């Protein structure tokens, strides 16, 4: 094998994928992936969770995709979530490399929409010196999300790992945007984009419905972390769900909604490029991944 062929075989092409929603373009931009412990998967015996992954030919322990979504509408650009930044595993934090491959400069992003403030969604907001990585962007999130991670009592109740990795890191990441921070409680937050509160995973966890003409796409955030497990078993929760019972109830509600409506969905932790539909199968659900098409 020649030197060029070997190089081509060592790395994928930039992980970006476009989808047209009426007059709006939504682009999945992969931030990479995270490998994690099975111990965080709750409300299911570990052996059953492992078997569900093996039955789907997925890695054990779990491998979780991390996706961000670029929205271009009316000459404006929004980014939904900012990925892991430089603060987590080396397999994550690929957002900026892939934005560069798209020809999208961080300074051209005028709005950052956060689904929530967990580190794999907000750690790409600021650099190690506390400077904003999206220097011209307004930061938008649910009011309850901002309030929770800035609540001293909630931070005091958390364990040391969560205090540093979630509370303190989140505060550090959003601090450079305090002068251009917009908090919402739902409703339109960007042209053609409506915020939909999906609480449970975190208090202000939010999905974003993108709609133009007859087309729509629901970017549902962290409704799912491990699709092969949580789609057939929606009662399964994660250790980092702030309110596991509410997270499971919200998941069932969203599942019912998108299955009934045939709603196209995109998710931060669905396998790249992250677009799918859910359909009813008896008393449960099945995932139908969208195909790849060369044209928009």
DSSP H helix total and E strand total for the chain: 10, 16
Residue 2 lies in a domain: no
Q: Are 205 and 116 in contact (CB under 8 A)?
A: yes
- Whole-Å CA distances, 290 to 66, 133, 220, 273: 18, 32, 16, 9
CA distances, 183 to each of 116, 141, 145, 172, 206 (Å): 12, 5, 9, 17, 12
Within the chain, where are the H helices? 3-8, 46-55, 95-102, 119-122, 143-149, 152-157, 160-162, 169-174, 227-230, 244-261
Q: Is residue 140 part of a domain?
A: yes
Query: What average pLDDT does the chain have?
Result: 95
The answer to the question of residue 295 being in a domain is no
Q: Which residues touch 122 (CB under 8 Å, ≥6 apart)?
A: 81, 82, 114, 116, 169, 170, 173, 174
Model pTM score: 0.95
Q: Is the pLDDT reported for residue 6 higher than 70? A: no
Residue 251 lies in a domain: yes
**Cα separation of 66 and 87, whole Å?**
14
Written as six digits, the tokens of 203 are 């208090």
For β-strands 76-80 and 111-113, DSSP reports them as: parallel
Per-residue pLDDT, 57 = 97
- Residue 215 neighbours by CB under 8 Å, 6+ apart: 20, 21, 22
Helix (H, G, I), strand (E, B) or coil at 74: coil
What is the pLDDT, as a whole number, of residue 58?
Answer: 96
In a domain, 271, yes or no: yes
Identify the pLDDT of residue 8: 61
122: CATH: 3.60.15.10
Q: How far apart are CA 218 and CA 89, in angstroms?
A: 28
**Is residue 174 in some structural domain?**
yes
Tell me the mean pLDDT in the region 28-32.
97
pLDDT digits (tens, 9 = 90+) for 41-92: 999 999 999 999 999 999 999 999 999 999 999 999 999 999 999 989 999 9
Domain range for 115 is: 12-289
Residue 96: inside a domain, yes or no? Answer: yes
| Separation CA 3–CA 5 (nearest Å) | 6
Residue 29 has pLDDT above 90, yes or no: yes
pLDDT digits (tens, 9 = 90+) for 110-169: 999 999 999 999 999 999 999 999 999 999 999 999 999 999 999 999 999 999 999 999
pLDDT classification of 7: cutoffs 50, 70, 90: low
- Residue 168 is given by DSSP the state I
Residue 1 has pLDDT above 50, yes or no: no
Within a domain: 215: yes
Q: How many domains, in total, are found in the chain?
A: 1
């Amino acid at each position: 094998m020649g030197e060029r062929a070997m190089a081509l075989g060592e790395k994928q092409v930039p992980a970006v994928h476009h989808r047209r929603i009426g007059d709006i373009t939504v682009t999945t931009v992969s931030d990479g992936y995270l490998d994690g412990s099975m111990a965080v998967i709750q409300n299911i015996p570990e052996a059953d969770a492992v078997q569900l992954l093996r039955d789907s030919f997925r890695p054990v322990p779990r491998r979780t995709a991390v996706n961000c979504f670029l929205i271009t509408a009316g000459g404006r650009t929004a980014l939904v979530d900012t990925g892991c930044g430089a603060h987590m595993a080396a397999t994550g934090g690929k957002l900026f490399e892939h934005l560069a491959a798209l020809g999208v400069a961080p300074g051209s992003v005028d709005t950052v929409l956060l689904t929530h403030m967990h580190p794999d969604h907000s750690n790409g907001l600021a650099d190690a010196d506390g400077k904003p990585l999206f220097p011209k962007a307004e930061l938008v999130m649910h009011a309850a999300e901002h309030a929770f991670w800035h609540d001293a009592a909630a931070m005091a109740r958390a364990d040391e790992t969560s205090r540093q990795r979630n509370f303190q890191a989140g505060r550090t990441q959003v601090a450079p945007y305090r002068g251009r921070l917009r908090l919402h409680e739902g409703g339109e937050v960007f042209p053609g984009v409506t915020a939909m509160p999906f609480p449970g995973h975190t208090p202000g966890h939010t999905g974003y419905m993108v709609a133009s003409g007859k087309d729509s796409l629901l970017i549902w955030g962290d409704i799912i972390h491990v699709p092969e497990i949580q789609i057939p078993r929606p009662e399964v929760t994660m250790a980092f769900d702030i309110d596991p019972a509410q997270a499971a109830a919200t998941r069932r509600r969203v599942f019912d909604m998108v299955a009934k409506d045939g709603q196209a969905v995109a998710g931060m932790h669905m396998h790249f490029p992250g677009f799918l539909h859910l359909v009813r199968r008896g008393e449960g659900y099945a995932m139908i991944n969208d195909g790849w098409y060369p044209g928009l």
